[in-house]
Amino acid sequence: MSELKTIQLKAPYLIFLGEETSPTYAKTGAGIAHWRKEDCLGQMNLEGGSVDIGLPKMNIAEASDQGAKTLVIGTSVVGGAIPDSWLPVLIEALEAGMDIAAGVHTKLNDNEALVEAAKNAGQKLIDVRTPPKNIPVGNGKKRTGKRLLTVGTDCALGKKYTALAIDKDLNSRGLKSTFRATGQTGILISGSGMPIDAVVADFLSGAAEVLSPDNDPDHWDIIEGQGALHHPGYAAVSMGLLMGSQPDVFVVCTELGREKVSGWPEFDLPSIGEVIQRTTDIGKRTNKDIRCIGISVNSSKFSEPEALEKMQEIEKEYGLPVVDPIRFGVEKLTEVIIGS
């Protein structure tokens, strides 16, 4: 039986930015350069492209000479399809011995010219929105090692960033920690993971189990949350991820000042307390010792003094440390993890 696998990218990377001129559309590339600089050889812009993510500029031949193993498409594509202008470059990369990885809507593997070139070159086209095959049904069995899951009051309020920041801080202190990505951007940043929201319902908790396998007793998996247990559209994703992750601890992520579920204006944001309660209730099923160790806020709607005041209020209300990873770092959370 072959080992169960998550999606895996080979480092080092060449980050491809096409003709992109707007940093907004190159967030994925910028994220990889920020969180995994050591895995990035350089960036490649096509003629007309001006986005700079701070990496050395190089072409396919130069990247290949330096040993690039994967060309990662670091920009989103308007309309979703791979532009014709990219094809010669992408094919050149395949012929130079690189895989290509992307999270674009139209799959690399649906582009006949790329599929043909990859086959001839013996390289892979890695669509990070496509789950690996043969995901099992979740078995719920206890695994060795420790796990932290970021959960949320809603989508898009810092679950990925919080997890990445905690992982980085733990690693910088010499502790054993691995960021476990569950979404396309996280997978491209970390080079591996499981696109949990693209998994078929029956296999959701199994996919989460595959993502964080047995590990050393003192090793931490820092798992990127998806969706929210109170979300009218995406609660099922969060449920499967929580059951299968069997986290020892979790961090609740929220945005200060957000009052409604983003895009679902009929739905009030649940309180932090409601999220703690539901996550604990459900999470106990696969880890009876699950507990909340803190709260991570995105405070960007407020000035720094206002934000600090609000964070202090929340700290007092719940008796838990509150951080804003972007403004003030996550040390208060990692200290709890180290002490646990």
Binding flag, residue 230, its own copies (CB under 8 A): yes
Report yes or no: 16 and 87 within 8 Å, Cβ to Cβ. Answer: no
Select the residue interacting with its own copies from 36, 124, 159, 278 (CB under 8 A). Answer: 278
Contact segment (CB under 8 A) with its own copies among 49-57, 73-81, 143-151, 195-203 equals 195-203
Binding flag, residue 233, its own copies (CB under 8 A): yes
Select the residue interacting with its own copies from 137, 156, 216, 300 (CB under 8 A). Answer: 137
Which residue type sits at 314? I
Q: Using CA atoms, how far apart are residues 162 and 197, in angstroms rounded to an integer? A: 19
Binding flag, residue 334, its own copies (CB under 8 A): no
Query: Nearer Cβ to its own copies, position 110 or 116?
Result: 110
* C-alpha distance from residue 326 to each of 1, 267, 296, 300 (Å): 43, 27, 10, 9
Query: Nearer Cβ to its own copies, position 152 or 325?
Result: 152
Binding flag, residue 234, its own copies (CB under 8 A): yes
Residue reference for tokens 């039986």: 1
Query: Nearer Cβ to its own copies, position 60 or 269?
Result: 269
Kindly write out the interface string for residues 72-111 of this chain, putting x where it contacts its own copies by CB under 8 A and - elsewhere.
----------------------------------------
Q: Using CA atoms, how far apart are residues 63 and 14, in angstroms rounded to an integer? A: 7
Contact segment (CB under 8 A) with its own copies among 3-11, 108-116, 165-173, 238-246 equals 238-246
How many residues of this chain interact with its own copies, rule: CB under 8 A? 34
DSSP per-residue codes, 276-304 = HHHHHHHHTTT-TT-EEEEEEEE-TTS-H
Q: Using CA atoms, how far apart are residues 119 and 108, in angstroms rounded to an integer? A: 13
* C-alpha distance from residue 322 to each of 21, 79, 242, 250, 257 (Å): 37, 39, 22, 13, 15
Q: Using CA atoms, how far apart are residues 117 and 88, in angstroms rounded to an integer? A: 10
Q: Using CA atoms, how far apart are residues 305 and 284, in angstroms rounded to an integer? A: 37
- The least distance separating its own copies from the CB of residue 76, rounded to whole angstroms, comes to 18
CA atoms within 13 A on the CB side of 282: 21
Contact segment (CB under 8 A) with its own copies among 93-101, 161-169, 279-287, 304-312 equals 279-287
Residues in contact with its own copies by CB under 8 A are 137-141, 196-202, 204-206, 229-230, 232-237, 239-240, 243, 264, 266-267, 278, 281-282, 285-286
